[in-house]
Amino acid sequence: MKEKRYEKLSDKIEICVSDEHSFGTDAFLLTAFSAPKKTDIVCDLGTGCGIIPLLMVKGFNPKKIYAVDIQEQAIEQLRESVERSDVKSVEPICADLKVLWDSAPLNRLDLVSCNPPYKACGAGIESELTAEKIARHEILCNIDDVCKAAKRLLKFGGRLCICNRPERLADVVVAMRKNGIEPKTLRFVSKTPSDAPWLFLIEGRKGGKPFMKILPQLYIQNGDNDFSDEMKSIYAKEFREDE
């Protein structure tokens, strides 16, 4: 592993990142879209360095967050972040989401989030770096595995929030419904108003009735190549710390 470094998310919270386990814009988008309540018990599957749980703590402060990843190095980085930032509500867990862990809170969670591997196994050019392969390609788990795990963890009416590439939308909807999670809200994300979507955000509810709401498209930038007002809000206002 190459040298680790710390990046500030706030005056109080720092995250340990490395070349193998870092984060991008999609983590901020999914966190804002998921918007956990303060009373929520949450699990972030495939958490990597733990960016989504730490952003949740910073902006929404849910009651408890289980942060699960199969890669020990990623979980070790998150443990360092949690200790360094004195975060009590995040529990790093090294486990395979296909199996979960011995004390997993089955049928009890309010929210499961996941920024899954975007590419089907064998699709696209795979990175030589093993950690990147696992993060980008469905090598150790696929979208059906994610939905199966969410079904086991969520209480009735609990939410599953996922982001993925538009070409995988049908796969995600099918996997959700196959596992008793009804897609309820969908939003596409584009770089600018003139670009095709590069990401979608979707929320499903365990045991929900069929009806999907399509939200207005989210744009990362405006026509002047500056962040859009909404993106500025996501980076700033949406992630302000509680006073």
Structural domain span for residue 45: 5-239
Express as a percent the part of the chain with pLDDT over 70: 87
- Cα distances (Å, whole numbers) of residue 204 to 53, 82, 107, 133, 139: 19, 29, 15, 27, 24
Express as a percent the part of the chain with pLDDT over 90: 81
How far is Cα 111 from Cα 203, in angstroms, rounded to an integer?
10
For residues 32 and 77, the answer to whether their CB atoms sit within 8 Å is no
List the CATH number of the domain containing 215.
Answer: 3.40.50.150
How far is Cα 130 from Cα 20, in angstroms, rounded to an integer?
8
Which pLDDT score, from 0 to 100, does residue 237 have?
Answer: 52
How many CA atoms, within 13 angstroms, populate the side-chain half-sphere of residue 137?
A: 14
How far is Cα 162 from Cα 46, in angstroms, rounded to an integer?
11
Q: How confident is the model at residue 125 (pLDDT cuts 50, 70, 90)?
A: very low
Phi, psi of 3, deg, nearest 5: -60, 135
Report the mean per-residue pLDDT for the chain: 89
Which pLDDT score, from 0 to 100, does residue 136 have?
Answer: 46
Q: What is the mean pLDDT of residues 6-18?
A: 94
> For the segment 53-90, what is each residue's pLDDT rounded down to a tens digit?
999 999 999 999 999 999 999 999 999 999 999 999 99
Which pLDDT score, from 0 to 100, does residue 130 have?
Answer: 53
How far is Cα 7 from Cα 166, in angstroms, rounded to an integer?
30
Q: How confident is the model at residue 223 (pLDDT cuts 50, 70, 90)?
A: confident
For residues 53 and 67, the answer to whether their CB atoms sit within 8 Å is yes
Length of the chain as a residue count: 243
The H or E element that residue 149 is part of is: helix 143-153
The domain total for the chain is: 1
Q: Are strands 90-94 and 109-114 parallel, antiparallel or unpaired?
A: unpaired
pTM of the model: 0.89
